[in-house]
Amino acid sequence: MKNIKVEPALYYLLIILSTIFTSCTSQENKTPDDNRPRVIVTSDGEIDDQCSMVRFLLYTNECDVEAIVLSSSQYHSESHGHWAGNHWVDPDLAAYEQVYPNLIKHDPRYPTAEYLRERTAVGNVKTEGEMEEVTAGSDLIVKVLLDESDDRPIWIQAWGGVNTISRALKTIEEEHPERMAEVAEKLRLFLIWEQDSTYQEYIRPHWGKYNIFTIISDQFEAVAYRWKQIQPKEMHAYFDAAWMKENILENHGPLCSIYQAHKETNETNDYLYYEGDFQSEGDSPAFFHNIVTGLRNMESPDWGGWGGRYVRVRENTWLDPVPVEGYTYPEGRWYTKSAWGRESTRQHKTSFTHPEYREYFKPMWRWTPALQNDFAARADWCVKSYEDANHPPVVVLDHPLNLNAKANDTIKFSAKGTHDPDGDELTYRWWQYEEADRYEGIIEIQNADKQNSSLKVPADAKNGDTIHIVCEVTDKGSPPLTRYQRVILTIGK
């Protein structure tokens, strides 16, 4: 019997009703659609930025885009020979405009191309690290940071250098010093490496006392140019030419058609990359982190999510967890010359078969099937009707997301209320996110493949320990799509 499809308008009504219902049963319950994050993207226009931008545009329904700002980096600026130009985003927005009428059939929250154009500006692009000139891009960031009409956090993503962000903060320091603490409190930085020196030379010395929340990622390399060396072999099928052509590059409309896969066969670091293979999206983890999937990773970087998992190293700065006993993080920049993963890759000391290397990048590659299938579904949204495409399940738990427990307690979990907008059959998987726990043991979950499951808190669980249990739900649509809810058990007396 054919599955019953839910109309888009009814789907969003169900989400609203689900929100009301769960908020009545517990203030801690939230649907995956609550509180979309505000984001600013800064980008240096490298090839991988251009690939990330195509995917990012397909996820603009999942966030409030405040700005897209061109910046420079140690790799790209007007002074470099490979500068993409100050208008490289224009063709992307033109292609997005063509598929927009179809995208809103799948989610009416997609912004118009005109809305995005109005929020796209050129920042400090002349040279690496240049931050003295006030630019249209830096002024746009200032405007967003000083806006008092919305008190939600603002996630600023640095796909390239940090210099335009630094220029914006310097303007605030010079012209509105009384508001620095207020701005710092709502500011969230996600840096793909420190691709210039301005974070260390300006932001830390001038804004350090405000303890700005900052994630600096080296794990992004799992989806960058050297992915064949980093992704385990069992994940390669999600990046090879056959998958890319079938799911993204061909017959998916003008936006996906400009996505830059490998144009010819070439060898890099002893690995062959073929025409049509995935090339690089090294900047995508910055916005993967802002996709509300139910993993709750924006609550704390060490909980882990689609954008990786990070640990606090100093101040309010979070870096990649290095699985080497006694490892000492550098005091300064975390980038190509110092980050553990990049150094290991460059020196050919390790590969995906090495346990430490595999563990280091696991917070990213563990999500590869879910991430790539989600990308493929959105490519379908560019050309297919709502009825002919797939949409992610909505995971709802019949209890709070944070629970208190004692040693030897039996805890029951229920995903009652979980549903799929397309009427697809759902599979369930309850699992312990061990790396996020503050309990060092392994938990046995009963009926881990059912809608309802349970566990017995171990006798050796100590007061203050936390146990992270993820309810992972995947539909049987094409491609299969996955969403989650994370339950955190806190052990008390």
Domain boundary among the residues 366, 389, 412 is at 389
- pLDDT at position 348 is 64
Indicate if 144 and 41 belong to the same structural domain.
yes
- Other Cβ atoms within 10 Å of 492 Cβ, number: 13
- Element of type H or E holding 467: strand 466-475
The pLDDT of residue 16 is above 60: no
Read off the pLDDT of residues 229-243 as tens digits, 9 standing for 90 and up. Answer: 999 999 999 999 999
Asked if 19 and 33 count as a contact pair (C-beta separation under 8 A), the reply is yes
Indicate if 183 and 253 belong to the same structural domain.
yes
Indicate if 336 and 407 belong to the same structural domain.
no
Asked if 399 and 414 count as a contact pair (C-beta separation under 8 A), the reply is yes
Place 228 in a pLDDT band, splitting at 50, 70 and 90: very high
- Find the CATH number of the domain harbouring 469: 2.60.40.10
Instruction: Determine, yes or no, domain membership for 180.
Output: yes
Indicate if 474 and 365 belong to the same structural domain.
no
Domain boundary among the residues 372, 389, 406 is at 389
Instruction: Determine, yes or no, domain membership for 24.
Output: no
What whole-number distance in Å separates Cα of residue 364 and Cα of residue 360?
A: 9
Instruction: Determine, yes or no, domain membership for 183.
Output: yes
What whole-number distance in Å separates Cα of residue 286 and Cα of residue 220?
A: 8
- Phi and psi (nearest 5°) for 302? -80, 0
- Give the domain extent around 454: 393-491
By C-alpha distance, which of 55, 66, 146 is closest to 381? Answer: 55
Indicate if 156 and 253 belong to the same structural domain.
yes
Residue 53, CB half-sphere, CA atoms under 13 Å: how many? 32
Instruction: Determine, yes or no, domain membership for 277.
Output: yes
- pLDDT at position 270 is 78
As for how many domains the chain has, the answer is: 2
Indicate if 320 and 409 belong to the same structural domain.
no
- Find the CATH number of the domain harbouring 176: 3.90.245.10
Indicate if 318 and 460 belong to the same structural domain.
no
Residue range 9-36: mean pLDDT, rounded? 42
Indicate if 404 and 374 belong to the same structural domain.
no
Instruction: Determine, yes or no, domain membership for 147.
Output: yes
Indicate if 403 and 478 belong to the same structural domain.
yes
Domain boundary among the residues 361, 389, 417 is at 389
If you count them, how many residues does the chain have? 493
| Residue 308 DSSP class | B
Instruction: Determine, yes or no, domain membership for 26.
Output: no
Read off the pLDDT of residues 50-102 as tens digits, 9 standing for 90 and up. Answer: 999 999 999 999 999 999 999 999 999 999 878 999 999 999 999 999 999 99
Instruction: Determine, yes or no, domain membership for 211.
Output: yes
Q: If you average pLDDT over every residue of the chain, what do you get?
A: 92
Read off the pLDDT of residues 429-443 as tens digits, 9 standing for 90 and up. Answer: 999 999 999 999 999
Read off the pLDDT of residues 145-194 as tens digits, 9 standing for 90 and up. Answer: 999 999 999 999 999 999 999 999 999 999 999 999 999 999 999 999 99
- Element of type H or E holding 411: strand 410-414
First to last CA, the chain: 51
Buried/exposed 89-114: b ≥16 CB within 10 Å, e otherwise: beebbebbbebbebbbebbeebbebe
Read off the pLDDT of residues 382-423 as tens digits, 9 standing for 90 and up. Answer: 999 999 999 999 999 999 999 999 999 999 999 999 999 999
| Residue 389 DSSP class | S
Q: What are the CB-based long-range contacts (under 8 Å, 24+) for 229-237?
A: 229/269, 229/271, 229/345, 229/351, 229/352, 230/341, 230/345, 230/352, 230/357, 230/361, 230/365, 231/352, 231/361, 231/365, 231/368, 232/352, 232/358, 232/365, 233/352, 235/365, 235/368, 235/369
Helix and strand totals (H; E) in the chain: 16, 17
Indicate if 285 and 420 belong to the same structural domain.
no
Instruction: Determine, yes or no, domain membership for 22.
Output: no
Indicate if 370 and 430 belong to the same structural domain.
no
Indicate if 400 and 360 belong to the same structural domain.
no
